[in-house]
Amino acid sequence: MKRYLPFVVLLFLISCQGNYTPKPRGFFRIYLPEKEYVVFDTVFPYSFEYPVYGKIIPDERPSAEPFWADLVFPEFKGTLYLSYKRVRGDADLLAYFEDARSFAQKHIPKATAIFDESIVNDQRKVYGMLYEIKGREAASTLQFYVTDSLNHFLRGALYFNVTPNNDSLAPVIDFLEEDIRHMIATLRWKNPGR
């Protein structure tokens, strides 16, 4: 054994020469399914189309109000939280607008930018605002509210159940943004304001 020890040490020293180049950091491949939609039309005062890879679950948290729901995307560990309010007058509507705006603005410390876009669909009486929240560590990347201006108010916020790293999540965020835009475009109120 002692006779082979210098040979093993020499072999070890010779084999360790050379330049080591680290491999670049890799990321998991994200599978994005085909777009296909189904209609959500229940006793809720609104209906819309949502993707087949999402599940609508009624919100059963103690703080939940009637007609609140979660649109869950299990494959992406994401949830679009939907909260509905009945509008009983201008004061209600102004308070709901301010709440929705302040919820989006709470992300300013982690956001690099917040883009807002008006939503106007006279035919369906759907009016509101869509907020795109940019930034690597922003907890919510997309929020919106829509109303018929008289009876209905619906707010949505997209969150992921992962540590925020929106650079890595960008393909999923863009993919789900299309679905949320489709949902808003197909939204219908039951007994909309006149």
Q: pLDDT tens across 113-129, in order?
A: 889 999 999 999 999 99
Give the DSSP H/E element, type plus range, for residue 130.
strand 126-134
**In the chain, what are the domains?**
56-189 (3.40.1000)
Q: What pLDDT, on the 0 to 100 scale, is given for residue 170? A: 85
Q: What pLDDT, on the 0 to 100 scale, is given for residue 1? A: 64
Q: How far apart are CA 133 and CA 113, in angstroms?
A: 6
Q: What pLDDT, on the 0 to 100 scale, is given for residue 28? A: 66
Contacts with 168 (C-beta within 8 Å, 6 or more apart), sequence order: 27
The stretch 77-82 carries a mean pLDDT of 95
Q: What pLDDT, on the 0 to 100 scale, is given for residue 9? A: 73
Q: What pLDDT, on the 0 to 100 scale, is given for residue 191? A: 75
pTM tops 0.75: yes
| More confident of the two residues 176 and 103 | 176
Q: Any idea which residue has 């808003």 for tokens? A: 184
How high does pLDDT run on average in the chain? Answer: 87
Give the pLDDT confidence of 54-66 residue by residue, as tens digits.
Answer: 999 999 899 999 9
pLDDT tier at 164, thresholds 50, 70, 90? low
Does residue 106 register a pLDDT over 90? no
Q: What pLDDT, on the 0 to 100 scale, is given for residue 194? A: 47
Instruction: Check if the beta carbon of residue 155 is closer than 8 Å to that of residue 143.
Output: yes
Residue type, 49: E
Both tokens of 110, joined, read: 């982690």
Q: How far apart are CA 122 and CA 70, in angstroms?
A: 27
Phi-psi region at 25: left, alpha or beta (left = phi > 0; alpha = psi -120 to 50): beta
Does residue 5 register a pLDDT over 60? yes
The stretch 92-108 carries a mean pLDDT of 88
Q: What pLDDT, on the 0 to 100 scale, is given for residue 41? A: 94
Q: How far apart are CA 185 and CA 38, in angstroms?
A: 14
Q: What pLDDT, on the 0 to 100 scale, is given for residue 78? A: 94
The stretch 162-181 carries a mean pLDDT of 86
